[in-house]
Amino acid sequence: MDAGAIRRMTAAIHHRGPDAEGFWSDSHCTLGHRRLAIIDLSESGRQPLSNEDGTVWITFNGEIYNFQQLRSRLESLGHRFRTRTDTEAIVHAYEQWGTDCLRHLRGMFAFGVWDAPRRRLFLARDRVGKKPLFYSRSGDRLLFASELQAILADAEVSREVDHPAINAYLSWGYIPAPHTAFRAIRKLAPAHFLVFEQTPEGWTERIERYWRLDYAPKLKLDEREACEALREKLSEAVRLRMISDVPLGAFLSGGIDSSIIVGLMAQQSAQPVKTFSIGFNEAAWDETEHAERIARRWGADHRKFIVEPNAIEVLPTLVRHYGEPYADSSAVPTFYVSQLTRNEVTVALNGDGGDESFAGYERYLGNRIASYIRGVPGSGAAARLLGSVIPDSLDSKSRLRRARRFLQVAAEPMDVRYGRWVGYFSGADKSDMYSREFRAGLNGSSPEGWMEEHFARAARLDPVEAAMAVDVETYLPYDLLVKVDITSMANSLEARSPFLDHEVMELAARLPVGMKLRGRESKYILKRAFGDLLPRENVERRKMGFGAPVSEWFRGEMKELLRDALLSEQSRRRGYFDESAVRRRFEDHVERRADHGFALWNLLMLELWHREFID
């Protein structure tokens, strides 16, 4: 590959590494890198980086938190180090253990290792999907990068849209691996590696999974022992993520998870922790008072930012950085809190992953109750009838609205009700919306079938843990972690997540389910283990969730933007939808006959993506 092409690729992701760039090549492989300097800020930390004799090279995005222990072990085995970086630890670990080196890494990572003597490219992604990895193969040529726009910088890569992937996006608001919105580009799934190597038969490709979270066998711990084990493991995860040669701080929402992280940081820091929160003028969406209470508790150096409806100015930036349609509206406040944070620090810890490990979402309790209902003859029909008589609400946070949605599908199989609770467009919605031409191009793709497969794999688990297990493999890596990686790295900020330490997750998974959800109380063991860090007001308040008030924005400042995007001739020419079905949803929403806010956001982001990348 010519030097100009690789420079265009790295330039496309300058924001991920504004501190330095580097290139290396031989007759078979070319590597490029953009550096965000965190550990070992000297020139020796530049990438691509090699072993002693220059036969193994790496380009790496992420952090290996146990690199110091790993280095000591590798040195005892005879390996010699030239730098203080965690990157070099991966190179020597690969030399020592080959692809099994992944089992020794504790951290977040996406990397490519070129093994010159074997003519082998080894691509790998961390266990839960904190760091992204995209690739495109054409014959004996393979491109890989951390973001889609880097691969699209190569003019030879086709921008043909993958319509089955768009079908999945309209269901879930994201596109799961291995697909992307482009037929020519794939994403490597979390906990997988890819080997691309030259063999007598030519260049071959294989992909393998190396880790999966296991919920059995359960640990035989009483409550006190479980609290001690959890406290020790999460404290260690926080300590490891505070290793940095640049300033660090924390995102603070005022929820249980981020509050625990800030408390543990404060206990391990000689200086006040820098904390950052985001809020809204709409009271139902604003948590800043709860964040400020935690900040006062620990004497934190706290900053907050209020998101106004003119926040839509950031949408073109978000669309460009995501590279494919992405419908989680909380990307807007997450971008702004990342921007605010980067003004003062380069690394920020957060509370991501606490809900998925400790049963924090209401749908986990809902799944348990629904499983009881489904097991009682005749109760399903009664639930549907009761759901039909509950009036709908324009308030997306209304308890009545949530009860209605729950009862309408309580007697359905787990995968069906989960899809209705977290999805954007159901099968019935799509039948109403899709044009005949678009439906014909889907080739029988079934996003619902993909979800059914995940629940089938979790069939032997308790209903609560079944939903948690599915979230760990779907919603967490393809929605939440994509959101945080893209919005933080767009601002050249590194986000670290102690709850997503795989050893913390493995401990939590093997605790009895009753320690995570006891009765109607979520995060039971978390609250007991860290009760001294949490003010009572923060523990007892109703979980708010993190999002943006898009329903109201669409009836006000964003109405004309929405109309122009969804009802324009440009949008109609795409041929995806029946125009009358889209117009009906738009008009019902803006005239307050229904609340389609999040569904309309999904359609808006799809159209803006087309305008940015396809038109």
Tens digit of each residue's pLDDT (9 = 90 or more) over 98-144: 999 999 999 999 999 999 999 999 999 999 999 999 999 999 999 99
User: Residues 6 or more apart from 413 whose CB is under 8 A from it?
Assistant: 374, 452, 455
The answer on 199 and 76 residing in a single domain is yes
Asked if residue 144 and residue 75 are part of one domain, the reply reads yes
Q: What pLDDT is stored for residue 140 in this prediction? A: 93
User: Domain end: 172, 187, 209, which one?
Assistant: 209
Give yes or no: residues 45 and 153 share one domain.
yes
The whole-number pLDDT of residue 592 equals 93
State the Cα–Cα distance between residues 407 and 330, nearest whole angstrom: 27
The number of distinct structural domains making up the chain is 3
Q: Is 402 within a domain?
A: no
Q: What is the pLDDT of residue 312?
A: 72
CATH of the domain at 45: 3.60.20.10
pLDDT at 309: 62
Q: Are residues 196 and 114 in the same domain?
A: yes
- Could you tell me the pLDDT band of residue 283, with boundaries at 50, 70 and 90? low
What local confidence, expressed as pLDDT, does residue 407 receive?
75
How far from each other are the two terminal CA atoms of the chain, in whole angstroms? 27
90 plus 129 within the same structural domain = yes
Q: What is the pLDDT of residue 389?
A: 61
Mean pLDDT score, 209-214: 98
pLDDT of 544 over the 60 cut: no
In this structure, the answer to whether residues 270 and 123 fall within a common structural domain is no
Contact 106, 117 (CB under 8 A): no
> Which residue(s) pair with 7 in the sheet?
none
- Domain shared by 285 and 188, yes or no: no
503 and 561 share a domain? no
Residue 302 shares a structural domain with residue 253: yes
**What confidence score (pLDDT) does residue 409 get?**
79
- For residue 375, the tally of other CB atoms under 10 A from its CB is 10
Residue 590 is predicted with a pLDDT of 95
User: Stretch 157-172: mean pLDDT, rounded?
Assistant: 97
| Residues 46 and 191 occupy one common structural domain | yes
Residue with tokens 């952090």: 63
Q: Tell me if 458 is assigned to some domain.
A: no
* 114 falls within a domain: yes
Instruction: Tell me the pLDDT tens digit for each residue of 308-345.
Output: 766 678 899 999 999 999 999 999 989 999 999 999 99
pLDDT of the residue at 399: 72
CA 206, CA 184: separation in Å to the nearest integer?
Answer: 17
Same domain, 562 and 498: no
Q: In this predicted model, what pLDDT tens digit does every residue of 3-49 receive, in sequence order?
A: 788 999 999 999 999 999 999 999 999 999 999 988 877 787 899 99
Q: Are 288 and 360 in contact (CB under 8 A)?
A: no
Q: What's the pLDDT score for residue 306?
A: 81
12 in a structural domain: yes
Q: Which CATH number covers residue 519?
A: 3.40.50.620
Residue 480 maps to a domain: yes
pLDDT band, very low/low/confident/very high, at 406 (cuts 50, 70, 90): confident
* Alpha-helical segments (H) within 118-252: 148-152, 163-172, 223-241
Q: Which residues pair with 195 in a beta bridge?
A: 122, 206
pLDDT of 382 strictly over 90: no
pLDDT tens by residue, 488-541: 999 999 999 999 999 999 999 999 999 999 999 999 999 999 999 988 877 776
Q: Which of 175, 209, 243 is the last residue of a domain?
A: 209
pTM of the model: 0.94
Mean pLDDT throughout 404-412?
77
Q: 370 in a domain, yes or no? A: no
Range of the domain at 34: 3-209
**Is residue 169 one of the residues assigned to a domain?**
yes
- The predicted-structure confidence for 293-303, as pLDDT tens digits, reads as follows 999 999 999 99
Residue 588 lies in a domain: yes
Q: In this predicted structure, what is the pLDDT of residue 250? A: 97
Q: Report the share of the chain in percent with pLDDT over 70.
A: 93
